[in-house]
């Protein structure tokens, strides 16, 4: 019996194949491998049956606490959203899921048209000219946007707002080690006055805390200084807020996970990157374009490939090859199913619940809302106790109380970043309000007792 | 000509209308609803004034649309996919199912360690498996793909050299002329210059040329082994020694690791690190272009520079995220911990194979490639005549002289019912056809594929021009890629 259950070869097949090659064993084909290093003992466990693998993985999964297990207010770039049943049923069909990059367009139109539709849908949502076929995820997309701005402007200084997601700023700093860029972090309110001599200003709207930002003013300042404006955004917000293309953004980046992709502990996700027409030759990654076949039928191909590594090697706009194509298809199916009204409804539900919840939480003695202005579907909850103590107390009640702002380097911010979506229920909100109230009251009693 | 079954009007004759062409204002599903008045909570100056012209469709329409599109897509679930260096092996379904378990799919990356012990345990166990298979000492699971791992490794190299005081002087990365394009592109993203070294007559790195290119300004070498010719580097230790002698480091591009499982560990050959394309070697589905995952495995001396955080196993058997073992980390290269859902699939696959299954995988991959090469070498020129590993490269130069280029042969393979091999890569073989059958194709399929290529060789001899018309049986004929690039149409635009 074969030791690899997916290996189709019988012993007779193997004998016939060896005979056709003219050798007596596979070892006769391994002569180039240093003999003293050949066939090392790996020390791996023995293989499992499918049922054993399923049981083993299920036992590991059971040691995690999924979002549905209790009140859940974590969010940020990664959001618990409703995923229509048809999304996985369609996007994860084997014909899409087990295809390679569409190098042969005649037999890859399913992938190619789906990606073209993704580019079209996102262009419409963001009001941008061009969207590429996907980047890895939000953080590396931000870094690639900065590299793109550096190529366009010939400048090596990048200014990023401190209220951009901390993972994005950290990743940007890592990428900057390569070309040795200067990365400067300033509060959002100081972005506009920091544009002199920079490649780009990077602003997030809504920002990491959910605050709405006047992007136009910052874009004008960037453009007056010959710099580009990079806006980090999120897809649901764009359904209700004036989109980046109308705010002066030159490059738009974001995390596409909320568009029907499971949270899955950090990935795989969908990096969104979009730009104006004039910048398309500096865009990283694959782009699908429309064309005709020899019979005049409409078809789609990977295009503008002279930007890419397989043609341009060290002169390419990026090294990206494998991307997140299936995630782009997931996002397309999601948007097709939701439609404009469905997307708006999901976004509105998050906004409505966040505002209702914020009002109730702010009524707890000593608590407040720490956003600098109006917020969208998440907010900064300030508390009279330390943010870590409150977070731990909520955790003890089985509540994921949100992100801890101080852990994440949002300069000067302390509190919990509380996210709402269409999945947030009244019962969850009641539980949070109740638990916060008793935590704060309990702390006061201790103080009073002393 | 096949007409769109939906009856929707299209801008041009088309296999399937676009979503936008299927839509009619007023159609909608009802996947979520409520909060109709929430717009009032948003200050007027921020509200969207731009119309939101997403297509309006019902779910049945959407289902038919994507079913139609799926029918015009070739995949490894539907047939052999012998793209060289892409390792299009079968993708086991149980791996997809376990990755979708709520305990994996519905956990947020910012949850406390205590609530994600199963996920951390899985990732830690996966790291141990990767260490054993590669012969390295430490792993980062962050990189999202092979190219991302290359870039990560170049940053690690840069940090390593800087820690030794010669970060400023080491500026050059050596790349063989057979390398994937991502290698030089990754080095360039890191601010390094690229020096290309040629291959010798046996398909190895030309050792003399390598030694001539080496010097105190060298960061390191990027080595794919087996290389893109499918050949094992015959003097791999001498190559590594030469690089180390000038203080450089050797990076292993693990794109072709499917040839080496249990047969040799890169860490035993002198390499300082290697990435793994789990979407190749460890069977995770490629998704029409991604996602992948590119864990980077390194020797001890590079551990302190790895991306943070990593995962630590405590004495009590619990796990936590930690950066303790990487004090000089280059930082994070993406959000969170990599393509977790992909890594779950890879772990399930590795546990399915186990010790014996690993070895058999590579043995069968090598056997299949050498068998196909033996069947085809009489009619197509074998670029390098020595035993190959898991893939091999033919040259259609002789066929081109007769009037049919590698591209024509690829298109003729489509009419034979197969996905073509990679063509025109590696760049050092004229009219290259790079064939990787993988271990999961039965001998009957290998024979059918060989028979198809032999029939095509006959056609080239008798009527080469007829291949220019291929494919004739695919959903579309050849596409005009020149016009697509000259006059880019990159999204649907309303005809009005």
DSSP helix/strand/coil, A369: strand
Q: Is the peptide bond before B309 cis (omega within 30 degrees of 0)?
A: yes
Nearest to A64 by CA among B81, B400, B452, B99: B99
Among residues A292, A310, A333, the one where a domain terminates is: A333
Per the rule left: phi > 0, alpha: psi between -120 and 50, beta: everything else, B283 is left
DSSP helix/strand/coil, B248: coil
Residue bearing tokens 């580097």: B233
Same domain, A266 and A348: no
In a domain, A55, yes or no: no
pLDDT at A450 > cutoff 80: no
**What is the Cα–Cα distance from B253 to B258, expressed in whole angstroms?**
12
Q: Which of A2, A94, A106 to mutate to test the interface with B (most CBs of B within 10 A)?
A: A106
Give the one of B101, B388, B471 whose C-beta lies nearest to A57's C-beta: B101
CATH number, position A316: 3.40.640.10
Is the ipTM higher than 0.95? The answer is yes
A245 chain-B contacts, CB cut-off 8 A: 50
Proportion of chain A above pLDDT 90, given as a percent: 94
Q: State the nearest Cα–Cα gap between A433 and chain B, in angstroms.
A: 20
- What is the pLDDT at residue A311? 87
Q: Is the peptide bond before B426 cis (omega within 30 degrees of 0)?
A: yes
**What is the Cα–Cα distance from B327 to B216, expressed in whole angstroms?**
26
- What are B83's strand-pairing partners? B435
**Average pLDDT of the segment spanning A132-143:** 97
Q: State the nearest Cα–Cα gap between A37 and chain B, in angstroms.
A: 6
B443 chain-A contacts, CB cut-off 8 A: 8-9, 13, 16-17
pLDDT at A117 > cutoff 50: yes
Give the one of A62, A170, A292 whose C-beta lies nearest to B480's C-beta: A292
Range of the domain at A302: 86-333
Please state which CATH number belongs to domain B94-352.
3.40.640.10
Q: Verify whether the Cβ–Cβ distance A147 to B189 is below 8 Å.
A: yes
A265 chain-B contacts, CB cut-off 8 A: 104, 107-109, 116, 119, 336-337, 340-341
B59 chain-A contacts, CB cut-off 8 A: 84, 86, 337
- What is the pLDDT at residue B494? 84
Domain count across chain A: 2
Same domain, A390 and A327: no
Spatial CB neighbours of B40, under 8 Å, sequence gap ≥ 6: none
Q: Verify whether the Cβ–Cβ distance A54 to B97 is below 8 Å.
A: yes
In a domain, A13, yes or no: no
Give the one of B121, B129, B133 whose C-beta lies nearest to A63's C-beta: B121
- What is the pLDDT at residue B1? 42
For A245-272, the three-class secondary structure string (H helix, E strand, C coil) is HHCCCCEEEEECCCCCCCCHHHCCCCEE
> Average per-residue pLDDT in chain A?
96
- What is the pLDDT at residue B2? 54
**What is the Cα–Cα distance from B133 to B265, expressed in whole angstroms?**
6
Same domain, A326 and A350: no
Where exactly are the structural domains of chain B?
1-72, 94-352, 362-482
> How many CB pairs below 8 A link A and B?
727
**What is the Cα–Cα distance from A285 to A300, expressed in whole angstroms?**
16
Same domain, A313 and A286: yes
Q: Verify whether the Cβ–Cβ distance B356 to A3 is below 8 Å.
A: yes
In a domain, A17, yes or no: no
Among residues A313, A333, A353, the one where a domain terminates is: A333
Give the one of A8, A21, A265 whose C-beta lies nearest to B104's C-beta: A265
B386 chain-A contacts, CB cut-off 8 A: 32
Give the one of A4, A311, A342 whose C-beta lies nearest to B28's C-beta: A342
In a domain, A430, yes or no: yes
B333 chain-A contacts, CB cut-off 8 A: 140, 171, 174-175
**What is the Cα–Cα distance from B356 to A39, expressed in whole angstroms?**
11
Q: State the nearest Cα–Cα gap between B342 and chain A, in angstroms.
A: 7
CA dihedral over B87, B93, B94, B96, signed as positive or negative: positive
Tokens of B436: 């990787």
CA B466 → CA A325, B400, B405, B409, B461, distances in Å? Answer: 34, 13, 12, 11, 11
**What is the Cα–Cα distance from A263 to B496, expressed in whole angstroms?**
39
**Average pLDDT of the segment spanning A412-427:** 96
In a domain, A78, yes or no: no
CATH number, position A431: 3.90.1150.10
Residue of A nearest to B291 (CA): A324
In a domain, A301, yes or no: yes
Give the one of A168, A295, A329 whose C-beta lies nearest to B288's C-beta: A329
pLDDT band at A411 (very low <50, low <70, confident <90, very high): confident
CA dihedral over B298, B299, B303, B304, signed as positive or negative: negative
pLDDT band at A2 (very low <50, low <70, confident <90, very high): confident
Same domain, A423 and A441: yes
Ordered per-residue pLDDT tens for chain B, 496 residues: 455 667 888 988 999 999 999 999 999 999 999 999 999 999 999 999 999 999 999 999 999 999 999 999 999 999 999 999 999 999 999 999 999 999 999 999 999 999 999 999 999 999 999 999 999 999 999 999 999 999 999 999 999 999 999 988 999 999 999 999 999 999 999 999 999 999 999 999 999 999 999 999 999 999 999 999 999 999 999 999 999 999 999 999 999 999 999 999 999 999 999 999 999 999 999 999 999 999 999 999 999 999 999 999 999 999 999 998 899 999 999 988 899 999 999 999 999 999 999 999 999 999 999 999 999 999 999 999 999 999 999 999 999 999 999 999 999 999 999 999 999 999 999 999 999 999 999 999 999 999 999 999 999 999 999 999 999 999 999 999 999 999 999 999 987 6
A17 chain-B contacts, CB cut-off 8 A: 367-368, 370-371, 443
Torsion of CA A145, A149, A152, A156, to 10 degrees: -130
Same domain, A178 and A220: yes
Among residues A283, A298, A333, the one where a domain terminates is: A333
Query: Cα B59 vs. chain centroid, distance in angstroms?
Result: 33
Tens digit of each residue's pLDDT (9 = 90 or more) over A40-81? 999 999 999 999 999 999 999 999 999 989 999 999 999 999
- What is the pLDDT at residue B129? 98
- What is the pLDDT at residue B496? 65
Tokens of A382: 């300030």
pLDDT at A197 > cutoff 70: yes
In a domain, A164, yes or no: yes
Q: Verify whether the Cβ–Cβ distance B331 to A94 is below 8 Å.
A: no
3.90.1150.10, 2.60.40.3950, 3.40.640.10, 3.30.9.10: which CATH number matches B362-482?
Answer: 3.90.1150.10
Tens digit of each residue's pLDDT (9 = 90 or more) over A319-353? 999 999 999 999 999 999 999 999 999 999 999 99
DSSP structural state of residue B331: -
DSSP helix/strand/coil, B427: coil
B241 chain-A contacts, CB cut-off 8 A: none
The DSSP code sequence of B386-398 is: S--SS-EEEE-HH
pLDDT at A447 > cutoff 80: no
In a domain, A53, yes or no: no
Q: Which of B53, B64, B73 to mutate to test the interface with A (most CBs of A within 10 A)?
A: B73
pLDDT band at A207 (very low <50, low <70, confident <90, very high): very high
Give the one of A90, A95, A264 whose C-beta lies nearest to B77's C-beta: A95
**What is the Cα–Cα distance from A273 to A255, expressed in whole angstroms?**
9
Whether B269 and B299 have beta carbons less than 8 Å apart is answered as no
Q: State the nearest Cα–Cα gap between B304 and chain A, in angstroms.
A: 15
pLDDT band at A444 (very low <50, low <70, confident <90, very high): confident
CA dihedral over B202, B371, B407, A317, signed as positive or negative: negative
Give the one of A267, A280, A323 whose C-beta lies nearest to B341's C-beta: A267
């Amino acid at each position: 019996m074969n030791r690899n259950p997916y290996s189709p070869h019988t012993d007779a097949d193997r004998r016939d194949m060896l005979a056709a090659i003219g050798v007596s064993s596979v070892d006769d084909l391994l002569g180039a491998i240093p003999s003293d290093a050949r066939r090392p003992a790996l020390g791996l466990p023995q293989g499992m049956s499918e049922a054993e693998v399923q049981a083993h993985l299920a036992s590991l999964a059971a040691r995690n606490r999924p979002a549905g297990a209790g009140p859940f207010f974590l969010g940020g770039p990664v959001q618990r959203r409703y995923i229509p049943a048809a999304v996985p049923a369609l996007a994860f069909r084997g014909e899409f899921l087990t295809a390679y990059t569409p190098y042969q367009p005649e037999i890859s139109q399913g992938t190619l048209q789906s990606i073209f539709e993704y580019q079209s849908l996102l262009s419409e949502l963001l009001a941008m000219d061009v969207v590429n076929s996907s980047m890895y995820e939000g953080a590396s997309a931000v870094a690639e946007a900065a590299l793109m701005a550096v190529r366009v402007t010939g400048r090596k200084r990048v200014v990023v707002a401190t209220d951009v997601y901390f993972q994005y700023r950290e990743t940007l700093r890592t990428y900057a080690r390569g070309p040795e860029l200067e990365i400067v972090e300033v509060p959002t309110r100081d972005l506009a006055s920091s544009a002199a001599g920079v490649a780009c200003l990077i602003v997030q709207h809504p920002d990491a805390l959910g605050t709405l930002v006047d992007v136009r003013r910052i874009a004008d300042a960037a453009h007056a200084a010959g710099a580009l404006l990079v806006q980090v955004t999120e897809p649901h917000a764009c359904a209700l807020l004036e989109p980046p293309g109308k705010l002066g953004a030159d490059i738009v980046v974001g995390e596409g996970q909320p568009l029907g992709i499971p949270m899955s502990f950090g990935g795989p996700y969908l990096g969104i990157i979009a730009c104006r027409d004039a910048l398309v030759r500096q865009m990283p990654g694959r782009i699908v374009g429309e064309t005709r076949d020899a019979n005049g039928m409409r078809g789609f191909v990977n295009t503008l490939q002279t930007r890419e590594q397989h043609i341009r090697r060290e002169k390419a706009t990026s090294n990206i090859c494998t991307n997140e194509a299936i995630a782009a298809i997931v996002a397309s199916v999601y948007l097709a199913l939701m439609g404009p009204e469905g997307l708006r409804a999901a976004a509105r539900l998050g906004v409505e619940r966040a505002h209702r919840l914020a009002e109730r939480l702010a009524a707890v003695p000593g608590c407040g809302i720490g956003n600098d202005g109006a917020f969208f579907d998440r907010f900064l909850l300030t508390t009279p106790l330390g943010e870590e103590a409150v977070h731990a107390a909520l955790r003890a009640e089985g509540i994921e109380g949100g992100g801890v702002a101080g852990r994440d380097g949002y300069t000067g911010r302390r509190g919990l970043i509380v996210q709402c979506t269409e999945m947030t229920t009244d019962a969850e909100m009641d539980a949070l309000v109740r638990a916060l109230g008793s935590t704060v009251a309990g702390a006061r009693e201790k103080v009073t007792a002393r | 000509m096949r007409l769109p079954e939906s009856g929707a009007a299209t801008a041009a004759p088309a296999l399937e209308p676009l979503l936008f062409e299927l839509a009619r204002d007023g159609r909608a599903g009802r996947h979520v609803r409520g909060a109709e008045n929430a717009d009032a909570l948003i200050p007027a100056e921020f509200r969207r004034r731009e119309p939101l012209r997403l297509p309006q469709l019902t779910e049945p329409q959407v289902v038919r649309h994507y079913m139609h599109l799926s029918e015009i897509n070739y995949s490894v679930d539907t047939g052999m996919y012998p793209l060289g260096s892409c390792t299009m092996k079968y993708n086991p379904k149980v791996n997809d199912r376990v990755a979708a378990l709520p305990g994996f799919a519905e956990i947020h990356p910012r949850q406390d360690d205590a609530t994600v012990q199963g996920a951390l345990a899985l990732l830690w166990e996966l790291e141990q498996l990767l260490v054993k298979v590669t012969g390295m000492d430490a792993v980062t699971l962050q990189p999202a793909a092979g190219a991302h791992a290359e870039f990560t490794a170049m940053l690690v190299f840069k940090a390593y050299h800087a820690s030794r005081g010669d970060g400023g002087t080491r500026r050059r990365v050596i790349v063989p002329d057979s390398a994937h394009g991502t290698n030089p592109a990754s080095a360039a993203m890191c601010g390094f210059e690229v020096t290309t070294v040629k291959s010798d007559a046996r398909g190895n790195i030309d050792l003399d040329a390598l030694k001539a290119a080496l010097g105190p300004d060298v960061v390191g070498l990027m080595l794919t082994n087996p290389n893109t010719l499918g050949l094992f580097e015959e003097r791999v230790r001498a190559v590594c020694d030469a690089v180390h002698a000038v203080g450089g480091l050797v990076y292993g591009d693990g794109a072709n690791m499917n040839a080496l499982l249990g047969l040799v560990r890169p860490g035993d050959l002198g390499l300082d690190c290697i990435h793994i394309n789990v979407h190749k070697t460890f069977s995770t589905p490629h998704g029409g272009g991604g996602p992948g995952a590119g864990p980077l495995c390194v020797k001890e001396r590079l551990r302190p520079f790895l991306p943070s955080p990593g995962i630590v196993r405590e004495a009590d058997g619990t796990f936590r995220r930690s950066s303790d073992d990487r004090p000089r980390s280059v930082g994070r290269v993406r959000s969170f911990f990599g393509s977790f859902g992909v890594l779950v699939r890879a772990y399930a696959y590795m546990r399915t194979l186990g010790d014996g299954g690993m070895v058999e995988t590579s043995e069968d991959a090598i056997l299949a490639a050498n068998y196909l090469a033996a069947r085809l070498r009489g009619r197509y020129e074998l670029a390098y005549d020595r035993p190959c590993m898991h893939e091999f490269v033919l040259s259609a130069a002789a066929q081109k002289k007769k009037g049919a280029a590698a591209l024509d042969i690829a298109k003729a393979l489509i009419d034979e019912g197969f996905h073509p091999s990679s063509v025109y890569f590696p760049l050092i073989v004229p009219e290259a056809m790079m064939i990787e059958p993988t271990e999961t194709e039965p001998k009957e399929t290998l024979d059918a594929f060989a028979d198809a290529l032999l029939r095509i060789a006959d056609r080239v001899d008798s009527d080469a021009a007829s291949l220019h018309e291929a494919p004739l049986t695919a959903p579309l004929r050849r596409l005009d890629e020149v016009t697509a690039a000259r006059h880019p149409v990159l999204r649907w635009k309303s005809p009005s």
